[in-house]
């Protein structure tokens, strides 16, 4: 079959047969995420027509003003996963604590937990700029059939069995990995089907784009400042181009296709940067490594970090291999 005509549904079935998820549970879980993605896509597309723009009037545990779409996307994802009875626990950027899903019931002996950033790039919603959803899947550590505990969620990123994102952009795409490369699927909105449009996605080895909120430059660590100056220097293939959307999903997606580096460093005003290890950095790091890129948290590999709390933040540098290695040289000078 022409690869481009393959649907996400067909791809999931093929991979279930070929790879590790022979019990079918992970396939069902990816299917549930596919459904939730379509539901959230439908809501996001209506923004501006119905009253879902602006703030919800509440603050989340991160100290951020929740947008109405943050709340809606969170509800839709959680509800879809609950209805499908396919996971034993969910943690979300928008929830104070993790949610345990009735695992005492014989029927609900599921082994996976899902962690989500339901709406990434919230601040871009009101101005019609691309936003996304990020998800991350782990096999639980505690015994199946007992309620999940915090331990099931605080696993290092290298334990992920699947991760991905949905980008609600000029077209809507679902991009994910189960540890066998990264594949991207584009939604045909007329018939509500995702098609394999970007098989085996790979970061170019190097690139010419750097993405960072340069408004915070004054607060950055000297190593990061020096690297930014390096990016701007006229030498060889430099200066690089600066591109920063302010939606991690969109910045990552562009860099993976075109080649580039994304940076959210710590600073003198944010001790650990802004991005969340469990809902943002780990899934993106897993995708990056599966796509021949790199992701570090300052000193070391993101996927090796042992999380200490659910909403933990961490500096994040991610992208084309050679660019991240070059940045590392600058960071090491000041360690
Ligand atoms: P979220 O909307 O899920 O809270 O995430 C926002 C994140 C990320 O998407 C983006 O890259 C970053 O915050 C932008 O932060 P700044 O506005 O500080 O640059
Ligand atoms: Mn947020
Ligand atoms: Mn986010
Ligand atoms: Mn979010």
Neighbours of 232 (CB within 10 A): 13
Taken in order 310, 312, 318, 323, is the CA torsion positive or negative? negative
Pocket test for ligand 1, best of 167, 214, 247 (most atoms within 8 A of CB): 247
312 Cα–ligand 3 center, Å: 13
201 Cα–ligand 3 center, Å: 22
234 Cα–ligand 3 center, Å: 33
Burial class (CB in 10 A: 0-12, 13-18, 19+), 326: middle
Name the residue at shortest CA distance from atom 14 of ligand 1: 246
For every residue of 295-307, DSSP letters joined together read: EESSSSBGGG---
Is 275 annotated in a binding site? The answer is: no
CA Rg value for the chain = 19
pTM: 0.96
Nearest-atom index, ligand 1, CA of 213: 19
316 Cα–ligand 1 center, Å: 12
- The residues, any chain, with a CB within 8 Å of residue 122's CB and separated by 6 or more, are 64, 66, 67, 69, 70, 131
Pocket test for ligand 1, best of 274, 277, 283 (most atoms within 8 A of CB): 274
Backbone dihedral angles phi then psi of residue 307, each to the nearest 5 degrees? -65, 145
> Domains plus CATH for the chain?
3-198 (3.30.540.10), 209-332 (3.40.190.80)
Name the residue at shortest CA distance from atom 16 of ligand 1: 246
pLDDT tens-digit readout, 27-79: 999 999 999 999 999 988 887 777 777 788 889 888 888 888 999 999 999 99
The number of helix segments (H) and strand segments (E) in the chain equals: 8, 15
Protein residues whose CB sits closer than 6 Å to any atom of ligand 1: 64, 93, 117, 120-122, 213, 246-248, 274
Give the number of the ligand closest to the Cα of residue 265.
Answer: 1
Q: State how far the Cα of 76 lies from the Cα of 82, in Å rounded to an integer.
A: 10
Residues with CB under 5 A from ligand 3 (ion): 117, 120
DSSP state of 334: T
Cβ atoms of 126 and 51 closer than 8 Å: no
Is 244 annotated in a binding site? The answer is: yes
Give the number of the ligand closest to the Cα of residue 123.
Answer: 1
Helices (H), ranges, the chain: 8-18, 25-46, 68-83, 150-153, 222-232, 248-258, 282-290, 321-333
Can you name the residues that pair with 192 across neighbouring β-strands?
none
- The residues, any chain, with a CB within 8 Å of residue 297's CB and separated by 6 or more, are 277, 281, 305, 314, 315, 316, 317
Can you tell me whether residue 263 is helix, strand or coil?
strand
Per-position pLDDT tens, the chain of length 335: 456 689 999 999 988 877 665 678 899 999 999 999 999 999 888 877 777 777 888 898 888 888 889 999 999 999 999 998 899 999 999 999 999 997 556 655 899 999 999 999 988 888 989 999 999 999 999 998 889 999 999 999 999 999 999 999 999 999 999 999 999 999 999 999 999 999 999 999 999 999 999 999 999 999 999 999 999 999 999 999 999 999 999 999 999 999 999 999 999 999 999 999 999 999 999 999 999 999 999 889 999 999 999 999 999 999 999 999 999 999 999 87
264 Cα–ligand 1 center, Å: 9
Backbone dihedral angles phi then psi of residue 115, each to the nearest 5 degrees? -120, 135
Nearest-atom index, ligand 1, CA of 245: 11
């Amino acid at each position: 079959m022409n690869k481009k005509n393959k649907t996400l549904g067909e791809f999931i079935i093929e991979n279930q047969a070929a790879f590790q998820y022979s019990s079918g549970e992970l396939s069902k879980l990816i299917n549930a995420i596919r459904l939730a993605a379509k539901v959230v896509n439908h809501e996001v597309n209506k923004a501006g027509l119905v009253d879902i723009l602006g703030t919800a009037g509440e603050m989340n545990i991160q100290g951020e003003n929740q947008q109405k779409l943050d709340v809606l996307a969170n509800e839709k994802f959680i509800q879809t996963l609950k209805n499908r009875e396919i996971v034993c626990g969910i943690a979300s950027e928008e929830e104070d604590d993790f949610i345990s899903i009735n695992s005492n019931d014989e029927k609900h002996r599921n082994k996976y937990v899902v962690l989500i950033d339901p709406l990434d790039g919230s601040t871009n919603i009101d101005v019609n700029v691309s936003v996304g959803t990020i998800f991350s899947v782990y096999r639980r550590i505690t015994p199946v059939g007992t309620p999940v505990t915090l331990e099931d969620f605080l696993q290092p990123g290298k334990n992920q069995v699947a991760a991905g994102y949905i980008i609600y952009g000029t077209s809507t795409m679902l991009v994910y990995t189960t540890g066998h490369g990264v594949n991207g699927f584009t939604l045909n909105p007329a018939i509500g089907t995702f098609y394999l449009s970007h098989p085996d996605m790979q970061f170019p080895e190097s690139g010419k784009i750097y993405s960072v909120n340069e408004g915070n430059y004054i607060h950055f660590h000297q190593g990061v400042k020096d690297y930014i100056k390096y990016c701007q220097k006229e030498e060889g293939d430099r200066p690089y181009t600066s591109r920063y959307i302010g939606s991690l999903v969109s910045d990552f997606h562009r860099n993976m296709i075109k080649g580039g580096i994304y940076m959210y460093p710590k600073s003198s005003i944010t001790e650990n940067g802004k991005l969340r290890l469990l809902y943002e950095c780990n899934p993106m790091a897993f995708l990056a490594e599966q796509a021949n890129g790199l992701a570090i948290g300052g000193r070391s590999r993101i996927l090796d970090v042992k999380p200490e709390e659910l909403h933990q933040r961490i500096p994040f540098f991610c992208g084309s291999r050679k660019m991240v290695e070059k940045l590392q040289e600058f960071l090491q000078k000041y360690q």
